[in-house]
Amino acid sequence: MDARHILLIHPLGYDKRAAARDISRMANLMPPLGLASIAAYLEQYGFRVDIVDCFAHPDADQVIEDYVRRYRPGFVGATCTTAGFLDATCIFRRIKELSPETFCLAGGPHVSALRERIIRDYREVDYVVVGEGETPLRSLMEAGGDPQGIAGLVYRDDGRVVFSGLQKDLLDLDTLPLPAYHRLEGFPRQYQLPIFNYPRTPNTSCISSRGCPYQCSYCDRSVFRRTFRYNSADYLYRHVQTLRTQFGIRHINFYDDQFTFHRERVVAFCRRMIEEPLGMTFNCAVRAEHVDPELLVLMKDAGCWMISLGIETGDPDLLAQHRQNADLDWMSRTIRAIHKAGIRVKGLFMIGLPGETEQSFRRTMDYVFSLPIDDLNVAKFTPFPGSPLYENIHSLGRFEENWEKMDCMNTVFVPHGLTAAQLESLFLEFYKRYYTRPKTLWNFVTMAWKSPDSWRRFLANAGSFLAFARANRRMVERQ
């Protein structure tokens, strides 16, 4: 066993046989940026690190088995969303059969939220990494697997489950090396942003900050808590410049929760992109209170192509129950300002929040159709462990806590006063009404010259998209 060797895994989270026809994989495949960051950090301390992304390579189970047999790594780590956790445990069990001395570690939002429960209930997990993974992993590997004195770990000690406490000294993000994109097999061609969400290829995602200072009811903040740290404009420019020169990237989606929260760094970054152009465009996500017309014009000049906003619901009373600064008029003005600046607008919505009614959802549809929104995504509310709503969720409706289905694409929570069939019907009605509007149809026709690769991908997978739509319609009819 090599104690200075770790394999990092991004588990798939569902039946591998379904991966080839999975709509989410066809429409959007994002690189595991957290694992790439950890890999780069550990490599600079002399550790050997490899990554297997099961989303990019759904046949990866055999790859992992062959790897463990050949190299006997001292450590195997998996990043775990709620939907992917049980898949990770299956992988760990198989690794333990092949190499019992290998330590298996789980990190990510799901285990950071549940902590001791994971170690108590899943014997194949040796350690839970709570919070960001770089420092605890480095310390644990340097100690040969001895967790004593290392913050951010949950482990067993003589039959007891021990949590060593939260990490106090958080990393300065500008001191980190750039993510190890070279460790992602097939990068960047293997990965792709959502259809109609980019103008050019190759494209990828990038994270330039960690955390969010807000505390919305539905968000899990167990990894970064309520901290907010960000890369400087100089670091960020160097990051995108490297992606351009080394990998030929022409468009980036900044996957930050709040890209514009620190206005000065965005201004400095945009000015650098204007003064020293890289021939790149970008998307980002913002909150309405952290953009203004002047900043939007500058972002457009720097190459901003699309901005996403978490609107969640168009019902003001429902929104006020779940997030701060719940001002839909302010949101409307921001959306129109983005549109006026010549930047595409993507609205992010959620169906089935506690307190949702058919009337509130119809208000959301009316709100959407009143605004110049170019694209949208409607998620199904999922009460994730670590979110404020999770602790009392059973008093707010009917909740099926099936981790494998908790991916925001399945109906696992139904608020009081509604049925699962009603939610599914409203969900499909929303999409049908939006995508059959002449305005929306013309918008996507224009993508033929604004994003020609999107149309290529759409036509290549049209059969699968239609089959998915028919399957959902039949499911609603059966209910």
Domains along the chain with CATH numbers: 2-163 (3.40.50.280), 193-478 (3.80.30.20)
226 pLDDT band (50/70/90 cuts)? confident
Query: Cα separation of 74 and 1, whole Å?
Result: 5
Query: Cα separation of 362 and 357, whole Å?
Result: 9
Please compute the mean of the pLDDT values over residues 219-235 and round it to a whole number: 87
Nearest to 262 by CA among 328, 307, 209: 209
Please compute the mean of the pLDDT values over residues 127-146 and round it to a whole number: 96
Instruction: Read off the pTM.
Output: 0.93
One DSSP character per residue, 400-440 reads ---GGGTTTTS--EEETT--HHHHHHHHHHHHHHHHTSHHH
pLDDT for residue 54: 94
Query: Cα separation of 141 and 402, whole Å?
Result: 33
Q: Give the C-alpha distances (Å, rounded to integers) separating 213 from 173, 209, 219, 236.
A: 17, 12, 11, 20
Q: How many CB atoms lie within 10 A of CB 87?
A: 24
Query: Cα separation of 153 and 130, whole Å?
Result: 6
466 pLDDT band (50/70/90 cuts)? low
User: What does the pLDDT look like over 85-104, one tens digit per residue?
Assistant: 999 999 999 999 999 999 99
User: What does the pLDDT look like over 254-291, one tens digit per residue?
Assistant: 999 999 999 999 999 999 999 999 999 999 999 999 99
Exposed / middle / buried, residue 438 (Cβ in 10 Å: 0-12, 13-18, 19+): exposed
Model confidence at 434: pLDDT above 50: yes
Nearest to 198 by CA among 277, 280, 274: 280
Model confidence at 476: pLDDT above 50: no
Please, what is the end-to-end C-alpha distance for the chain in angstroms? 53
pLDDT for residue 463: 65
Percent of the chain past pLDDT 70, that is, above it, reads 94
Amino acid at 279: G
Contact (Cβ atoms closer than 8 angstroms) between residue 20 and residue 58 = yes
User: What does the pLDDT look like over 303-347, one tens digit per residue?
Assistant: 999 999 999 999 999 999 998 878 999 999 999 999 999 999 999
User: What does the pLDDT look like over 22-54, one tens digit per residue?
Assistant: 556 566 899 999 999 999 999 999 999 999 999
